[in-house]
């Protein structure tokens, strides 16, 4: 009898366990200490966790590092202003930069930021084998506490861009664990990092600049689906989302579509197929896309806004180059959709549909080629499928194929490839179009674009001594009035759309004037945290 | 007493040898698979940067990730490091693999242990009920539920629970192992438990049906046996029969299954942890996989092999405790 009781109890327990969970939870304490209802904190959900918070290893690259401060920093329109630096000079030969730094900046452990810390940061970053490219830097030396001299091996106009994303680390406490427990002199102080969960920041009250309005910042890492659920549950204030999920309306939140240079377009091999192969044995050239009229007909024949509306639910804008909206972008790259002009280009060159199969041909060669994309990337797939559908009207047949990166590496020199770039540093243009980089395995210039004119502008831009001079040359790369890499020029790329970075924001929170985002996911969002604030008018 | 110690030692010894050879084979196979995978970790990393990278810099990054050496050389290099107790450095997190695993393991262990106990208790309990009321309505309903739950993928169940309990009812948090915005040192045990419930429940529910259905079948066999017929003839009731004759006989296969389910549990936790943004080994392994972080992926793979074979060893040891027949049998046979 006794044992029977135990068994009954045992069975009852297992049932009870199921229901008990429900009861427990409804009584569970409301557990937020410094969140949602108070007006000086935010919780931000982003998809990708940084690997490290050490700027010399790549933290904050392309953005501002928040915890650390930089010598110079970007403004919202991506020009430069002084941050730690009070002044800088460049020698006439463009090789020696001399920076004077402010003497009222302190690390959060109380130590003063000295020129030696900056020299140490640059030297460490150079040898880190990470994302910071300082291969052109010869040395960085502190002359005294407030002067640092950097010697380059060649004039490099993007040096300022690089400096704007390398946060200064303190030499006196820097060690292997710095990346998980950073100390800096930036607007925020690092509090705690729980990997794959959250990072806590709090405002640095001793910051030499404006103390941020948002005092406590929690960045949580969740997939876009989980982030949307968190928005619906009201647990986060800001959440990074996608074009697909962003159409869900959530009470108390609005969706901000932040412009980005996160672009999608496809390369078109500009060389004919002459049976040549690359060093790794991949075939080079495509007899259809090597014709300028084919490339331009596609460029003029597609309705970019329509693709943005249909494929991206409106969370996208037409793209006309690799760097739309950046200070080094040439406005001349914009072209109007003109199907008649596209048709005329084909007709004039002798592409005519003679056999009535809907595809134009010339000398027996059909205007048909493959465009490949990495399978699994549904956005790229949908964009290229839409393009293929639209250019059918012109009599051009694009065969859309999803494949692996391995196969793309084999086929990208002879087929069109759907890709995406978009950087806050202009040297991307250099790698995309330089002749020396053509047909390398690094994905930048698989189409084989080579031009002495372009190379001249590229080198001039890279070696320019001022930002203005550099930008002038970057623009000429795209269009100098007669030629260029733009679609109205040589058209090695057909650019289609720039993806908006879709973000849920709780009503009442201002996320400031967001600079145009680069290709990265989530992190660009928090680079202007200092500007964020809650409206004093109260929450809706 | 001496006999029992000897038995434990023998099992331990044989298992160690087996585990070590298993580890070698698994590491070689996983290394081969990773090398054969079409993913290019360096390209993945560079795309993630969102900035242009010069060929010189790319070469440096490739050196860091070690993708230029031939796979076999890389494998032996890695193996000799592991034999020296160094699991290597996670290329993605830029920290030692052992540190990443150590950090995540306790979260995963708590999750898996809860889920394991839950599935064991529920599964065994419901299995007994089904077996005793064979073909009656209780049996039919529970059986249907078991079939449904065993066909539903863990992540889907997790998403549904997340939607119902976190978004609609707001009973449970949306994920993580601790409240959002609270420092690690301020997190209470209760809060941890509260965050554990939904993922553990999901994982437990997704895996209990197996054990419930096996227990049911075994109990039916027992009830059809001659000794139960004899017991019935003596006038014993159903419950008495279950306690006197059933439990010991059905516990044995249930225990085997339950300990053998460590592997499934580990697999399920990858799904559950991703759905609930729960920071354990499961979510680390998917991050490692997606980013082509070979050292971390291999480290966790080896660790999971250890974990699963430890489960099997415990099961073997427990057999002896439960069933004296095995004790006698293994004393004669082990080591031969």
Q: Looking up tokens 């932040």, which residue turns up?
A: A258
Which secondary-structure segment (H or E) carries B317?
Answer: helix B294-322
> According to the model, what pLDDT value does residue B311 have?
83
Classify A54 as helix, strand or coil: coil
Distance, CA of A267 to CA of A277 (rounded, Å): 18
Q: Which residue of B has its CA nearest to A130?
A: B61
pLDDT in tens, A347-357: 999 999 988 89
Q: What is the pLDDT averaged over residues A315-344?
A: 94
Packing angle, helices B294-322 and B2-36, rounded to 10 = 150
Instruction: Judge contact between A191 and A218, C-beta under 8 A.
Output: no
pLDDT single digits (tens) B223-267 = 888 888 888 888 888 888 888 888 888 887 888 888 888 888 888
pTM of the model: 0.79
| Rounded CA separation A386/A199 (Å) | 40
Q: How many CB atoms lie within 10 A of CB A366?
A: 17
Are A135 and B57 inside 8 Å of each other by CB? yes
Output the CA–CA distances (angstroms, integers) from residue B323 to A297, B128, B251, B328, in the order listed. Answer: 80, 20, 10, 9
Range with the poorest average pLDDT among A287-301, A321-335, B51-65: B51-65
What is the sign of the dihedral through the CA atoms of A304, A306, A309 and A311? negative
Residue whose C-alpha is closest to residue B170's, from A176, A26, A303:
A26
Helix (H) / strand (E) element for B203: namely: helix B189-223
B238 part of contact set with chain A, CB < 8 Å: no
**DSSP SS3 for A18:** helix
- Note which residues in 128-147 of chain B have CB less than 8 A from chain A: 128-129
CB-based burial label for A354 (10 Å; 0-12, 13-18, 19+)? exposed
In this complex, is the C-beta atom of A229 within 8 Å of any C-beta atom belonging to chain B?
yes
* Residue A381 in tokens: 């797939």
Model ipTM? 0.72
- How far apart CA A171 and CA A113 sit, in angstroms, is 9
CB A58 within 8 A of CB A539: no
Sign of CA dihedral A433, A437, A439, A445: negative
Q: Å from A360 to nearest chain B CA?
A: 36
Kindly indicate the confidence band of residue A13, based on its pLDDT and cuts at 50, 70 and 90. Answer: very low
In the numeric block, which tokens belong to residue B70?
A: 């031939």
Q: Is the pLDDT of residue A31 over 60?
A: no
Give B 38-97 residues with CB within 8 A of chain A.
38-40, 43, 45-58, 60-61, 63-64, 92-95
* Tens digit of each residue's pLDDT (9 = 90 or more) over A374-422: 887 888 999 999 999 999 999 999 999 999 877 898 999 999 999 888 8
Nearest partner of A344 among A389, A301, A303, judged by Cα: A301
The residue of chain A with its CA nearest to that of B280 is A196
Greatest pairwise CA separation for chain B in angstroms: 87
Asked if B50 lies within 8 A of A232 by C-beta distance, the reply is no
pLDDT higher than threshold 60 for residue A17: no
Nearest CA in chain A to B40: A405
A373-387, pLDDT tens digit by residue? 988 788 899 999 999
Q: What is the mean pLDDT of residues A478-504?
A: 94
Mean pLDDT (whole number) for A200-207: 92
- Alpha-helix runs per DSSP H in A1-150: 2-27, 115-126
Distance from first CA to last CA of chain A, Å, rounded? 62
Tokens of B65: 């990730």
**Lowest mean pLDDT segment, chosen from A158-167, A224-233, B105-114, B281-290:** B281-290
How sure is the predictor about A14, in pLDDT bands with cuts at 50, 70 and 90?
very low
Are B243 and A424 inside 8 Å of each other by CB?
Answer: no
User: How far apart, in Å, are the Cα atoms of A198 and each of A356, A509, B36, B102?
Assistant: 61, 20, 34, 18
Euclidean distance between CA atoms A511 and B178, whole angstroms: 26
User: Mean of the pLDDT values across residues A303-320?
Assistant: 94
Highest mean pLDDT among A26-35, A460-469, B175-184, B309-318: A460-469
C-alpha torsion sign, points B29, B31, B33, B36: negative
User: b vs e for B17-32, b when ≥16 Cβ sit within 10 Å of the residue's Cβ?
Assistant: eebeebbeeebeebbe
Cβ of residue A26 closer than 8 Å to a chain B Cβ:
yes
Q: What is the pLDDT of residue A443?
A: 87
Give the per-residue pLDDT at B88.
Answer: 82
- Packed helices B262-275 and B154-161: angle between N→C axes, nearest 10 degrees: 40
Q: What is the pLDDT of residue A4?
A: 53
**Which of A206, A32, A440 lies closest to B170, judged by CA?**
A32
Asked if A7 lies within 8 A of B243 by C-beta distance, the reply is yes
- The token pair at A34 is 């410094």
Using a CB–CB cutoff of 8 Å, tell me whether A404 touches chain B. yes
Please choose, from the candidates B194, B158, B161, the residue with its C-alpha nearest in 3D space to the C-alpha of residue B177. B194
Q: Is the pLDDT of residue A7 over 60?
A: no
From the list B54, B104, B166, the residue facing A133 with the nearest CB is B54
Across A292-428, where does the E strand assignment appear?
316-318, 361-362, 365-366, 368-374, 397-403, 416-419
- The minimal CB distance from B51 to the residues A43, A425, A442 is found for A425
Q: A283: exposed, middle or buried (C-beta count within 10 Å: 0-12, 13-18, 19+)?
A: middle
Evaluated on CA atoms B77, B78, B82, B83, the torsion sign reads negative
Residue B45: its chain A contacts at CB < 8 A?
Answer: 131
Mutate to test the interface with A, among B104, B174, B287 (most CBs of A within 10 A): B174
Segment A184-198 shows an average pLDDT of 89
Residues of chain A contacting residue B128, judged by C-beta atoms under 8 Å apart: 7, 11
Compute the average pLDDT of residues A264-275. Answer: 94
Q: d(Cα A504, Cα A510) in Å, to the nearest integer?
A: 12
Residue A291 CA to chain centroid, in angstroms? 31
Mean pLDDT on A69-88: 89
Q: What does the pLDDT read at residue A38?
A: 56
Would you state the pLDDT for residue A40?
A: 87
Closest B-chain CA to A440: B55
**Confidence at residue A35, expressed as pLDDT on a 0 to 100 scale:** 45
Across chain A, what does the average pLDDT equal? Answer: 87
**Alpha-carbon span B158 to B201, nearest angstrom:** 9
| Res A214: pLDDT | 92
Mean pLDDT within A304-324: 93
**Which of B222, B227, B301, B225 minimizes the C-alpha distance to B254?**
B222
Contact list, A7 vs chain B (CB under 8 Å): 128, 239, 242-243
More confident of the two residues B89 and A295? A295
Interface test with A, best of B37, B43, B51, B118 (most A CBs within 10 A): B51
Of the partner residues A14, A57, A233, the one whose CB lies closest to the CB of residue B94: A57
CA distance B161 to B198: 8
Would you say B98 and B299 are in contact if contact means Cβ atoms under 8 Å apart? Answer: yes
Q: Which range is least confidently modeled, A119-123, A472-476, B39-43, B286-290? A: B39-43
Distance from CA of A460 to the nearest CA of B (A): 17
- Indicate the burial class of A516 (C-beta count within 10 angstroms; 0-12, 13-18, 19 or more): buried
Answer yes or no: do A196 and B171 touch at CB < 8 A.
no
Residue among A236, A258, A220 at smallest CA distance from A46: A220
Q: Is the pLDDT of residue A136 over 70?
A: yes
Within chain B, which residues score under 50 in pLDDT?
334-336
A61 contacts B51? CB cut-off 8 A: yes
């Amino acid at each position: 009898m006794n044992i029977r009781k135990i068994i009954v109890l045992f069975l009852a327990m297992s049932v009870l366990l199921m229901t008990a969970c429900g009861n427990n939870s409804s009584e569970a304490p409301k557990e937020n200490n410094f969140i949602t209802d108070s007006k000086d904190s935010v919780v931000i959900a982003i998809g990708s966790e940084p690997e490290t918070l050490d700027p010399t290893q790549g933290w904050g690259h392309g953005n501002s590092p928040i915890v650390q401060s930089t010598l110079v920093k970007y403004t919202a329109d991506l020009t430069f202003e002084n941050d730690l630096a009070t002044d800088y000079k460049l020698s006439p030969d463009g090789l020696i930069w001399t920076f004077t730094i402010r003497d009222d900046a302190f690390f959060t452990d109380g130590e003063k930021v000295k020129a030696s810390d900056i020299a140490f940061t640059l030297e460490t970053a150079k040898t880190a084998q990470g994302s910071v490219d300082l291969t052109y830097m010869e040395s960085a030396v502190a002359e005294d506490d407030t002067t640092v001299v950097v010697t380059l091996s060649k004039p490099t106009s993007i040096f300022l861009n690089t400096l704007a994303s390398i946060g200064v680390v303190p030499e006196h406490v820097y060690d292997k664990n710095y990346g998980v427990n950073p100390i800096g002199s930036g607007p925020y102080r690092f509090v705690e990092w729980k990997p794959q969960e959250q990072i806590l920041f709090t405002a640095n009250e001793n910051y030499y600049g404006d103390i941020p309005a948002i005092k406590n910042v929690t960045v949580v890492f969740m997939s876009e689906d989980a982030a949307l659920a968190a928005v619906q549950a009201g647990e986060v204030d800001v959440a990074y989302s996608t074009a697909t999920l962003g159409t869900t309306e959530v009470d108390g939140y609005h969706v901000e579509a932040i412009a980005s240079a996160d672009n999608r377009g496809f390369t078109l091999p500009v060389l004919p197929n002459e049976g040549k192969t690359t060093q790794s044995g991949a075939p080079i050239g495509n007899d259809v896309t090597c014709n300028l009229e084919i490339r331009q007909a596609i460029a003029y024949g597609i309705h970019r806004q329509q693709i943005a509306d249909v494929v991206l639910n409106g969370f996208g804008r037409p793209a006309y180059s690799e760097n739309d909206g950046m200070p080094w972008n040439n406005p001349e790259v914009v072209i109007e959709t003109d199907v008649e002009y596209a048709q005329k280009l084909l007709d004039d060159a002798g592409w005519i549909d003679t056999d009535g199969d809907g595809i134009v041909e010339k000398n027996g060669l059909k205007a048909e080629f493959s465009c490949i994309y990495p399978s699994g990337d549904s956005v790229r797939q949908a964009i290229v499928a839409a393009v293929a559908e639209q250019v059918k009207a012109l009599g051009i047949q694009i065969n859309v194929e999803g494949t692996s990166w391995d196969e793309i590496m084999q086929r990208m020199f002879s087929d069109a490839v759907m890709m995406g770039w978009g950087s806050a540093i202009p040297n991307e243009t250099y790698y995309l179009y330089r002749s020396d980089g053509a047909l390398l395995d690094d994905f930048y210039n698989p189409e084989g674009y080579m031009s002495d004119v372009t190379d001249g502008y590229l080198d001039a831009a890279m070696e320019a001594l001022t930002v203005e001079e550099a930008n002038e040359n970057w623009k000429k790369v795209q269009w100098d009035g007669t030629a260029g890499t733009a679609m109205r020029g040589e058209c090695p790329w057909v650019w289609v759309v720039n993806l908006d970075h879709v973000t849920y924001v709780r009503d009442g929170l201002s996320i400031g004037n967001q600079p145009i985002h680069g290709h990265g996911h989530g992190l660009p969002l928090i680079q202007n945290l200092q500007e964020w604030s809650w409206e004093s008018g109260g929450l809706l | 007493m001496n006999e029992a110690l000897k038995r434990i030692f023998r099992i331990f010894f044989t298992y160690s040898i087996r585990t070590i050879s298993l580890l070698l084979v698994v590491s070689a196979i996983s290394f081969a698979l990773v090398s054969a995978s079409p993913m290019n970790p360096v390209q993945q990393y560079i795309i993630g940067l969102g900035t242009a990278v010069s060929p010189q810099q790319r070469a440096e990054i490739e050196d860091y990730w070690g993708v230029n050496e031939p796979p076999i050389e890389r494998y032996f290099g890695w193996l000799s490091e592991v034999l020296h107790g160094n699991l290597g450095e996670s290329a993605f997190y830029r920290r030692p693999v052992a540190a990443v695993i150590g950090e995540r393991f306790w979260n995963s262990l708590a999750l898996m242990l809860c889920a394991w106990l839950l599935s064991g208790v529920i599964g065994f309990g419901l299995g007994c009920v089904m077996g005793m009321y064979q073909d009656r309505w209780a049996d039919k309903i529970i059986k249907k539920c078991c079939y449904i739950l065993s066909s539903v993928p863990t992540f889907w169940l997790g998403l549904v629970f997340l939607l119902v309990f976190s978004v609609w009812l707001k009973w449970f948090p949306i994920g993580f192992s601790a409240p959002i915005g609270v420092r690690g040192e301020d997190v209470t045990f209760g809060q941890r438990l509260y965050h554990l419930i939904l993922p553990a429940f999901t994982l437990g529910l997704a895996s209990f049906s197996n054990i419930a259905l096996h227990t049911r079948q075994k109990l039916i066999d027992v009830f059809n046996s001659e000794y139960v017929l004899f017991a019935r003839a003596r006038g014993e009731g159903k419950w008495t029969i279950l306690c006197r004759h059933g439990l010991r006989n059905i516990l044995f296969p249930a225990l085997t299954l339950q300990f053998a389910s460590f592997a499934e549990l580990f697999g399920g936790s990858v799904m559950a942890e991703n759905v609930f943004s729960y920071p354990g080994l499961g979510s680390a392994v998917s991050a490692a996989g997606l980013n082509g972080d070979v050292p971390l992926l291999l480290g966790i793979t080896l660790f999971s092999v250890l974990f699963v074979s430890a489960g099997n060893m415990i099961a073997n040891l427990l057999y002896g405790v439960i069933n004296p027949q095995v004790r006698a049998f293994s004393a004669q046979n082990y080591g031969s």
